[in-house]
């Protein structure tokens, strides 16, 4: 009996051992299979996952490209400065280290110690410090503390062109001006370096060498001329100070291309230390602020009248002896005028006359003309924050609204819009897009992108633009409102503006004005358009008195910059005199079909100029280097010397012009 029991026990024991052995074997095979799976089948996947856990790609901001003026002089550069970093996980005595570091950096001890106690592998202690403090930190030779080269944006001429350039922040990101508009171009491609992290995700290693080979962005070349910009800012600042104004604007533009040679806005700021200035000073008022243009808007009313053939320069209007009631409001002139021609309305700046001209044109045609000149929409200049201005749809205009708009009330423009529109007159009626960046080049100077002049559209006809130019010439002649804007011996075409500012409590202020002068020169061959706006001058407030002299100084500086020489002695400057309505016996001569002058010129002879426009005659005189005297406006009816005579060097040429029948 005992023997049977023992046999059964040994049998179950062996069975249990077999089962246990099979279990161990199965478990071992599972472990082997899992190991094969992890080490062979999933090796690459798990390796990449592990690397993601303890390795991290850190983006490094590249060195910003240089901003040059049109003559490739540096206006904004990036300089290497040193920044202090620490690895808190490697610092065993943060309090003692912090005390020494705070003394070298002239920083509060508590602030430095707090950073050194952070549970992080990498912290900034101080960014972009001066060389003396960097050397003081280096001499301490503190464990876990080091210095890294970082580029810092530097503007070598302080506040020069500050609103054009803008500035870049601590992270080298452009925040205002060209720095913001062309940020991706100037910053270039962001580089990446690998850092190591511990199990808690803290950075434990980041090689300083990565900061010494930062890539550089592209360089930007502006249309702005540094020397002219300096003179414009100096003249504008002196004017603002003289009249204790709250601000000012100035623009110099090439009318044929839209290139901005200078753009100034006051108050200004220093982009090197922009944080010390109120944010209000960052605003580029030339493109962000709108104002009522006042009497400068009369030139565009005249443009509408000429372009629609609703009036001619000699067309007469009764100006009600200085007082005219319309729509429950009385419009006043500064002087009591009776009958004035359209030219005289512009010359003497009659509000009543401008309103009557506009009513003769009609709301829809006026509105279309204003839109064609670029008002009520952004100019699309390459700067951020541009306003579109205010130009309400013409269907909402009441008669009194139309009258007000004709002398610049009830409509709002930016300084750049006004300069762009005046440039269209100077450019024969063609509206150009203003721009400030001429080209983008790489580090080797190879061209990456070039901005070309861009035509926006035609604002008025070429012939009508010539007529309007002749009218604007009269503004700076004796008796006109803009005599203080003269730049003798160059002829100046322009318009004054004295715009009442809105009173916050309602209506118009009786003490606050915008003093404006806008124009171009030389009138017979425009090289520069200049705009000057003075915000709320004290004492005097008339545009011709306040803005006119500043305009004259800036315009002369612009001509000097462009290398425009005055006419030689003995040459009589062009001034298109405003005639009375032509006699009925002469218009047929003014309508004569012009003859191609090329064959006569090829033979060295005086061509037949009859029938040519003023602009065509001036262009021919420039090409042949003739001294020219012009009388009248319209098309050539007589000339001296007569056609067919041999042309002599520096030949004196006199032409008489008259309008076509009907004054069109």
Domain boundaries, the chain: 2-41, 58-158+188-217, 227-562, 587-663
Instruction: Name, in order, each residue with C-beta under 8 angstroms of 15's C-beta and a sequence gap of 6 or more.
Output: none
Mean pLDDT of 551-567: 92
Residue 457 has pLDDT above 60, yes or no: yes
- Residues counted in the chain: 664
DSSP string, 551-567: HHHHHHHHHHHHTPPPP
What is the distance between the alpha carbons of residues 421 and 253, in angstroms, rounded to a whole number?
11
Query: What is the side-by-side strand order in the sheet with 627-632?
Result: 627-632, 652-658, 635-640
Mean pLDDT of 314-325: 93
What is the distance between the alpha carbons of residues 496 and 480, in angstroms, rounded to a whole number?
9
Number of helical H runs and strand E runs in the chain: 21, 26
Tell me which of 182-191, 193-202, 413-422 is least confident.
193-202
pTM over 0.75: no
How far apart, in Å, are the Cα atoms of 602 and each of 114, 154, 452? 86, 57, 34
Cα radius of gyration (the chain): 37
Instruction: Please tell me which residue in 78, 265, 295, 343 is annotated as part of the active site.
Output: 295
What is the distance between the alpha carbons of residues 42 and 62, in angstroms, rounded to a whole number?
38
CB 530 within 8 A of CB 523: no
Residue 650 has pLDDT above 90, yes or no: no
Q: How confident is the model at residue 107 (pLDDT cuts 50, 70, 90)?
A: confident
Q: How confident is the model at residue 60 (pLDDT cuts 50, 70, 90)?
A: low
pLDDT at 424: 97
Which residues on neighbouring strands pair with residue 176, listed in sequence order?
Answer: 167
> When comparing pLDDT for 443 and 13, which is higher?
443
pLDDT at 617: 76
Give catalytic status of residue 78 as yes or no: no
Q: How confident is the model at residue 532 (pLDDT cuts 50, 70, 90)?
A: very high
Count CB atoms within 10 A of the CB of residue 554.
31
Closest by Cα among 520, 419, 517 to 468? 520
Count CB atoms within 10 A of the CB of residue 468.
27
Closest by Cα among 497, 574, 439 to 292? 497
Packed helices 415-426 and 462-475: angle between N→C axes, nearest 10 degrees = 110
Mean pLDDT of 261-267: 97
Q: What share of the chain is helix, strand, coil (3-state, %, to 5)?
A: 40, 25, 35
Q: How confident is the model at residue 54 (pLDDT cuts 50, 70, 90)?
A: very low
Residue 7 has pLDDT above 80, yes or no: no
What is the distance between the alpha carbons of residues 57 and 206, in angstroms, rounded to a whole number?
10
DSSP string, 317-343: EE-GGGEEEETTEEEE-SS---EEEHH
Q: How confident is the model at residue 177 (pLDDT cuts 50, 70, 90)?
A: very high
pLDDT at 192: 57
pLDDT at 365: 97
For domain 587-663, say whether CATH 3.30.10.20 is its number. Answer: yes
Residue 429 has pLDDT above 90, yes or no: yes
Q: What percent of the chain has pLDDT over 70?
A: 84
Q: How confident is the model at residue 572 (pLDDT cuts 50, 70, 90)?
A: very low
CB 339 within 8 A of CB 317: yes
How far apart, in Å, are the Cα atoms of 224 and each of 353, 413, 447? 39, 23, 18
Q: How confident is the model at residue 571 (pLDDT cuts 50, 70, 90)?
A: very low
Mean pLDDT of 519-538: 96
Residue 80 has pLDDT above 60, yes or no: yes
Mean pLDDT of 209-223: 75
Residue 256 has pLDDT above 90, yes or no: yes
DSSP string, 230-248: HHHHHHHHHHHHHTT-SEE
Tell me which of 388-392, 454-458, 539-543, 646-650 is least confident.
646-650
Count CB atoms within 10 A of the CB of residue 80.
13
Architecture of domain 227-562: 3-Layer(aba) Sandwich (3.40)
pLDDT at 640: 87
CB 349 within 8 A of CB 483: no
Provide the phi-psi class of 255: left if phi over 0, else alpha when psi is between -120 and 50, else beta: alpha
What is the distance between the alpha carbons of residues 527 and 568, in angstroms, rounded to a whole number?
18
Which residues on neighbouring strands pair with residue 43, listed in sequence order?
Answer: none
Residue 57 has pLDDT above 60, yes or no: no
Vertex 326 angle, CA 362 and 535, to 5°: 85
pLDDT at 507: 83
What is the distance between the alpha carbons of residues 481 and 542, in angstroms, rounded to a whole number?
9
What is the distance between the alpha carbons of residues 197 and 155, in angstroms, rounded to a whole number?
38
- Per-residue pLDDT tens for 627-649? 777 665 567 888 888 888 888 77
pLDDT at 206: 52
Tell me which of 20-34, 253-267, 593-607 is least confident.
20-34
Tell me which of 71-85, 271-285, 346-360 is least confident.
71-85
For domain 58-158+188-217, say whether CATH 3.40.50.720 is its number. Answer: no
> When comparing pLDDT for 346 and 445, which is higher?
346
Sign of CA dihedral 316, 320, 322, 323: negative
pLDDT at 582: 36
CB 627 within 8 A of CB 647: no
């Amino acid at each position: 009996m005992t023997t049977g029991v023992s046999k059964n026990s040994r049998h179950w024991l062996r069975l249990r051992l077999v089962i246990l052995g099979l279990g161990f074997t199965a478990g071992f095979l599972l472990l082997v299979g899992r190991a094969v799976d992890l080490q062979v089948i999933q090796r690459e996947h798990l390796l990449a996952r592990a690397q993601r856990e303890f390795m991290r790609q850190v983006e490094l901001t590249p060195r910003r490209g240089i901003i040059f003026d049109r003559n490739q002089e540096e206006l904004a550069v990036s300089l290497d400065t040193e920044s202090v970093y620490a690895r808190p996980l490697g610092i065993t005595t943060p309090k003692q280290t912090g005390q020494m570091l705070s003394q070298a950096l002239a920083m509060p001890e508590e602030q430095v110690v707090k950073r050194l106690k952070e549970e992080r592998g990498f912290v900034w202690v101080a960014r972009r410090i001066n060389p003396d403090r960097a050397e003081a930190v280096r001499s301490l030779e503190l464990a876990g503390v080091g210095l890294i080269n970082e580029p810092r944006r530097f503007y070598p001429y302080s506040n020069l062109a500050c609103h054009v350039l803008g500035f870049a922040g601590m992270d080298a990101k452009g925040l205002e001006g060209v720095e913001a508009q062309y940020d991706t171009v100037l910053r270039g491609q962001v580089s990446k370096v690998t850092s190591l992290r511990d199990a808690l995700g803290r950075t434990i290693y980041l090689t300083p060498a990565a900061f010494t080979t930062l890539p550089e962005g592209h360089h930007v070349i502006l249309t702005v001329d540094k020397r002219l910009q300096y003179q414009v800012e100096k003249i504008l600042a002196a004017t603002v100070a003289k009249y204790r104004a709250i601000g000012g604007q100035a623009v110099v533009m090439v009318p044929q291309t839209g290139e901005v040679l200078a753009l100034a806005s006051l108050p200004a700021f220093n982009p090197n230390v922009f944080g010390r200035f109120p944010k209000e000073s960052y605003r580029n008022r030339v493109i962000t602020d709108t104002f009522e243009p006042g009497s400068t808007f009369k030139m565009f009313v005249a443009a509408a009248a000429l372009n629609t053939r609703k009036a001619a320069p000699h067309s007469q209007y009764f100006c009600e002896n200085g007082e005219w009631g319309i729509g429950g409001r009385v419009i006043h002139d500064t002087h009591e005028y009776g009958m004035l021609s359209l030219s005289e309305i512009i010359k003497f700046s009659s509000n009543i006359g401008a309103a009557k001209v506009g009513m003769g044109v009609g709301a829809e045609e006026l509105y279309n003309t204003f839109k064609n000149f670029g008002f009520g929409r952004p100019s699309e200049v390459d700067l951020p924050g541009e306003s579109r201005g205010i130009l309400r749809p013409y269907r909402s205009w009441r008669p009194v609204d139309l009258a007000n708009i004709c002398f610049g009330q009830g409509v709002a423009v930016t300084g750049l819009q006004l300069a762009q529109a005046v440039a269209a007159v100077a450019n024969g009626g063609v509206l150009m897009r203003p721009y400030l960046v001429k080209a983008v080049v790489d580090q080797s100077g190879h061209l990456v992108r070039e901005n070309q002049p861009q035509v926006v559209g035609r604002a008025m006809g070429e012939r009508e633009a010539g007529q309007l130019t002749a009218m604007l010439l009269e503004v700076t002649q004796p008796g006109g409102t803009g005599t203080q804007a003269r730049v003798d011996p160059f002829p100046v075409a322009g318009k004054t503006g004295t715009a009442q500012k809105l009173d916050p409590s309602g209506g118009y202020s009786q003490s606050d004005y915008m003093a404006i002068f806008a124009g171009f020169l030389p009138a017979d061959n425009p090289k520069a358009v200049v705009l000057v706006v003075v915000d709320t001058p004290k004492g005097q407030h008339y545009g011709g008195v306040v803005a006119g002299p500043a305009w004259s100084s800036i315009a002369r500086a612009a001509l000097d910059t462009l290398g425009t020489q005055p006419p030689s002695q003995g040459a009589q400057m062009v001034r298109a005199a405003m005639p009375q309505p032509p006699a009925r016996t002469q218009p047929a001569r003014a309508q004569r079909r012009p003859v191609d002058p090329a064959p006569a010129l090829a033979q060295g002879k005086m061509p037949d100029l009859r029938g040519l426009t003023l602009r065509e005659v001036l262009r021919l005189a420039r090409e042949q280097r003739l001294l020219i005297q012009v009388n009248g406006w319209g098309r050539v009816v007589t000339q001296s010397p007569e056609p067919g005579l041999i042309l002599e060097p520096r030949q004196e040429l006199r032409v008489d012009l008259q309008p076509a029948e009907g004054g069109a």
